[in-house]
Structure 1
Amino acid sequence: MKIPKNGLPKEEIFKILQSYKGEDLDWKSGKVLGFIYDPGKKVHDVTHEAYTMYLTENALDPLSFPSLLRLENEVVRMTANLLDCNSEVVGNFTSGGTESLILAVKTARDYSRAVKPHIKEPEMVLAITAHSSLFKACHYLGIKPVVTRVHDDTFMADVDAMRTAITDNTILLVASAPGYAHGVVDPVPEIAALALEKDLLCHVDACVGGIHLSYMRKLGYDVPDFNLNVPGVTSLSVDLHKYGYAPKGASIVLHKNKELRKYQIWGCSRWTGYPVINPAITSAKSGGPMAAAWAVLNYMGDEGYMEIVREVMAATQLMIEGVSQIDGLRVLGKPDMCMFALASTTDKINVYRLAEEMKKTGWYLQPQFARENSPSNLHISLNRSTVPQARAFLKDFEETVAEIKNREVDQQTRDLQEELKKLSFTFDDESFFKLAEMAGVTGTEPPERMDKVNMLLEALPYDISEYMLVEYLNNMMTAGNK
């Protein structure tokens, strides 16, 4: 594909773009139970206008665009106040949870370099339920992730296991509020107390839950403690583009004080160009996401958020009770907010096949692999747009489960899973294409069904399945090379 010699008319450009969206998930349907946080048209229109108003302004230099510095400070302070933070807490606006988490881990690494210079091979202790972005942070920053188990019944981090995992090289403990997979909040006070005892930093990943849980507490729900008021917690991340309902590209990383936050910031004056100072990873960036986040917080207000949380939690309770009554399924743990995972208790229900069959009725559920003591399951996140669809979901879901139960178990795929466990693979193209063929994945187009792919990836060792994922994406993202 090449840049056209002569520019296309505006109408044709948008016609093409619209055609490209034809196979995308219908995020306005209320049937996408993951990825999407839809606040409704009124809120969307406000954030869209604020976003485009600041589309061109560059947040690289606050001296050139001081309004962006003001917006960032106000968004950070509104978020910190919602989380009951004291006046010493500081923070910054980032592009999302991944960037916030990487910055929190970078802060811990650079802080340890300054105050514990004897640590040459830093380690971070986190539960198997911690978000994948924390593993990415370790990979990027040269930190060893020390992964611990969670309790079988609650899927909460096992504090005793974390204690055992601490070594002389440990610099950071991590807790989730909640863990994305199961919607369960870790025992933050106990983990933070352990960090205090061992003179370690403690980060709380509240990216998905920070806003929603805070408003649940305002409504009188029994919400576990997780914020920076908990003794021992030194940093916290919270996304505004999830249950804050801001457009994508909006998250906050908070630190207990400026003394810690300075290890997050990077500056450079040694090159021949202008002096650079970055509080986050990116340098040049549109002011759009920041303005939109500011707009949604002010437009919604506490009352607007509480109204949404009240409705979403009622729908969540309805759906959890409904799926729990279906024979052959169970909800994992005791979810603390509007997200949960459901697993099969019988060979007659394969959750990956269930997800594919639900697609036929327009529903999207997220498959999650069996890992450690967490079985194969489907993740469900509710948001404002899901509320009016809750009963329709239960009807379609119950009918789909009944239909699957009446089919024969896919023994061929299960036999293939067992065979995979016995095979030995190497990290090369031949092994990749062999596995891809076994999974029914060929070429650069996404497969029509993912159930077989998910079952096979789940059966592989972590390093092999991750290699497969990387190689597949690397091959798929060459489709435009002609």
Structure 2
Amino acid sequence: MPGSSRVPVSLRNLSSYKDAAVRRNPTLVLNFEILRNLVFIWFLLRHFRKAIRQLRGRGILGTLGSFYAYLWRNAYGVFLNLPGIRSKVQGQVDVALKKLEDRLVPKGPGVTRYTELPKDGLSDEQIKEILKELSELHHADWEKGQVSGAVYHGGKEMLDLQSEAYRMFAVSNPLHPDVFPGVRKMEAEIVAMVLDMYNAPPSSGAGITTSGGTESILMACLAARAKAYAERGVTEPEMVVPVTAHAAFDKAGHYFKIKVHHVDVDPMTLKVNLKAVARLVNYNTILIVGSAPNFPHGIIDDIAGLSKIALRKRVPLHVDACLGSFLVPFLEKAGFETQPFDFRVKGVTSISCDTHKYGFAPKGNSVLLFRTKKFRQYGYFVTATWPGGVYASPSLAGSRAGSLIAGTWAALMKVGESGYVASCRDIVGAAKAIEAGIRDKLHPDLYVLGEPQVSVVSFSSKTLNIYELADEMNAMGWHLNALQTPPAIHIACTRPTVSAVDKFLTDLEKAVAGVKARGNEAAQRDTAALYGVAGSLPNKSVINSMAVGFIDTLYKA
């Protein structure tokens, strides 16, 4: 009707209903208003505390820089997702992945693909013949020492011994210690030997074995998170790690919802900045981390300095010695300079050590050490309510291969302390020779990053595209590790490298000359193209897409 309200009667009467409710029960409305205000105040305080922690940890300039990087990264991400741009970028990614697939996945005449079970099982002779063919597929010459890291070979005699150990314990599983008591004994002895190497307190030191360095790091972070929750009620865990710490710490942050603060290293020493670490430690910090040494540059962080921070702030300190493993404990006995890094440093509460690197154990074995048994227990999983019975495990895995434990035990027993000292002398000696060769013969074209103390030598250039140099060395049969921030490449010396030092330096000198001769006009090859793009993009989504595609390619039969 003309002049009547267009608002429904139910809404027109809402105000009167509310007024009536207030008259009937004013306390209820008052309590609601108080609750609403308290929630609002809690929300403000929560985010205010986060802002204060950010400012305290990064400073005003650092916070503004992080905010700018965040905006620039996201703005570039929006740009990459524009319709015309997205299709073009995806096309280039697809081309790159197709080239990768052609290189990794065997195809063509003479290649047999097995994508379903054979109707009838093959004979032993047929299987052995296929295995022989697979082992002979084109691969890098690691036997000649031309691969950085990757293969930590203990020699043919060691391989034969480990193969026999595998055979003897092929069906064993440490999940059932009553069925396989020998495996239980060997695993406990492996932990005890590594604890002794790292000078753990005899009465309280403890440890577990894992499937590798990544799982050791994951378990160290998980135990620290559980400890902080149980003892301090921390529900928003954070950890402080050097930017050079292993990516497994970021993996732990991703899996276990731990915020990871990355701390820059000193531009000269490449050791983590202690002042920056101290500023970032707060109530929510569950762990701080140092490397002995780090993977990119082979530098040992100032563990004693980190220990002082850990003790002062009452926070656990983890030392990642996965790469240092069976080298850093023997540096002094082998005649090399060393620095404090193990449990003799009071603030160190856990250490990861890969037996399958310089311990020459079979791939798939690492040890995680704790200062106390109680700390180790924070990583356990136990359930007493499962219908299948009481279930308990010390690490992420349930069933594990007892054969790997047998192979690891055999390696440690065969090499012994004197053997590991000699191995340290040879391998670190090779790294020192490569470092000296680069400094003496290839300066100023190349320079060594920092003062490496163990097996890794990282180098870069101010005059050459270092990634072009990596591709040139690759063409000569060398497989080195490309690094970023700053651009560099490194070689991680192993036992096969010891006899290849002279060839490495000779080939490196030739590669430098080759890159200089071609100049900037040459077409970029794989490493230079990939890392050139990665370094120029503020948003890494394109590189992430390529990495995901790479993993998918690995599972193409």
TM-score class, shorter-chain normalisation, is 0.7 to 0.9
Spell out structure 1 runs of 4+ moving beyond 4 A.
Answer: 410-413
Does the CA contact (< 8 Å) of 1:178 and 1:184 recur in 2?
yes
Kept in 1: contact 2:274–2:305 (CA 8 A): yes
Partner of 1:7: 121
Which has more helix, going by share of residues? Answer: 2
Are 1:255 and 2:370 an aligned pair?
Answer: yes
Structure 1 residue 7, shift from structure 2 partner:
1.9
1:121-160 equivalences under 5 Å are: 121-160=236-275
Note if 1:461 corresponds to 2:538.
Answer: yes
Distance 1:382 1:336 in 2: 12
Distance 1:178 1:104 in 2: 17
Q: Which runs of 5+ in 2 are unaligned?
A: 1-114
Q: Rg larger in 1 or in 2?
A: 2
Change (3 A) 1:26 1:132: same
| Distance in 2 between residues matched to 1:34 and 1:410, nearest whole Å | 32
Q: What's the offset of the Cα at 1:477?
A: 4.0
Query: Alpha-carbon deviation of 1:384?
Result: 1.0
Distance 1:462 1:227, change over 3 A: farther
Q: CA deviation at 1:410?
A: 4.4
**Which runs of no fewer than 5 residues in structure 1 stay unpaired?**
414-447
Aligned runs of 1:54-453 on 2, under 5 Å?
54-87=169-202, 88-117=204-233, 119-324=234-439, 325-326=441-442, 327-346=444-463, 349-369=464-484, 371=485, 375-410=486-521, 449-453=526-530
Q: 1:472 aligns with which of 549, 552, 555?
A: 549
AA at the equivalent of 1:361: M
Q: Contact 2:238–2:258 (CA<8 Å) still a contact in 1? A: yes
Deviation at 1:462, TM superposition (A): 5.8
Q: Give 3-state SS (helix, strand or coil) of 1:313's partner.
A: helix
Structure 1 residue 3: deviation in Å?
Answer: 1.6
Measured after TM superposition, the shift of residue 34 of structure 1 is 2.2
What are the Cα deviations for residues 31-60 of structure 1, in whole angstroms up to 9, with x where unaligned? Answer: 111212112212222222223321210111
Deviation at 1:286, TM superposition (A): 1.1
2:408 is aligned with what amino acid?
A: A
CA distance in 2, matches of 1:388, 1:163: 44
Q: Give SS of 2:356's match.
A: coil
The Cα shift of 1:411 comes to 7.6
Report the Cα distance in structure 2 between the residues aligned to 1:222 and 1:164, rounded to whole angstroms.
Answer: 30
Separation (CA, whole Å) in 1 of partners of 2:426 and 2:225: 41
- Residue 76 to residue 25, structure 1, CA distance change in 2 (3 Å): same
For the residue of structure 2 that corresponds to 1:211, the secondary structure is coil
- Rounded to whole Å, the distance in 2 between the matches of 1:220 and 1:408 is 42
CA 1:158–1:277: 2 relative to 1, 3 Å: same
Tell me, yes or no, if the aligned pair for 2:297 and 2:450 is still in contact at 8 Å. yes
Q: Find the residue that maps to 2:351 and give its secondary structure.
A: strand
Which amino acid in the other structure matches residue 115 of structure 1? E
Residue 365 of structure 1: how far off its partner (Å): 0.6
In 2 relative to 1, CA 412–389 (structure 1 residues): closer, same or farther, beyond 3 Å? closer
Q: Which amino acid aligns with 1:328?
A: D
Q: How has the CA–CA distance of structure 1 residues 76 and 410 changed in structure 2, closer, same or farther, with 3 Å as cutoff?
A: farther
Residues of 1 paired with 2:523 and 2:143: CA distance? 37
Partners of 1:83 and 1:210 within 8 A in 2: no
SS at match of 2:301: coil
Q: Does 1:16 align with 2:130?
A: yes
Q: Distance in 2 between matches of 1:162 and 1:317?
A: 30
State the 1:89 CA deviation.
0.6
- The alignment partner of 1:210 has SS state of coil
Contact 1:39 1:385 survives alignment (8 Å):
no
Q: Indicate conservation of the 8 Å contact 2:140/2:146, yes or no.
A: no
Q: Which residue of 1 aligns with 2:146?
A: 31
Q: Offset at 1:220? A: 3.4
Amino acid in the other structure paired with 2:205: V
How far apart are residue 469 of structure 1 and its match? Answer: 4.0
Tell me by how many angstroms 1:319 deviates: 0.9
Give 1:331's aligned amino acid.
Answer: V
Q: How many residues align?
A: 439
Counterpart amino acid of residue 78 in structure 1: M
Cα RMSD (Å) of the superposition? Answer: 1.7
Match of 2:518, SS state, is coil
What SS is found at the alignment partner of 1:23? coil
Deviations 1:319-357 (A, max 9, x none): 1111222131111000011112111121xx222222222
TM-score by length of 2: 0.76
Cα distance per residue 1:269-303 (max 9 Å; x no partner)? 32221322111111111111111111111100111
The more displaced of 243-252 and 309-318 is 309-318
From the superposition, tell whether residues 462 and 44 of structure 1 become closer, same or farther in structure 2 (CA, over 3 Å): farther
Query: Partners of 2:212 and 2:355 in 1: how far apart?
Result: 8
Q: In the alignment, is the contact (CA less than 8 A) between 2:482 and 2:527 conserved in 1?
A: no
User: What letter matches 2:455 in structure 1?
Assistant: C
Q: Which amino acid aligns with 1:9?
A: S
Question: 2:325 touches 2:357 (CA, 8 Å); kept in 1?
Answer: no
Counterparts of 1:138 and 1:300 in 2: how far apart (Å)? 36
Aligned-partner Cα distance in 2 for 1:174–1:81: 22
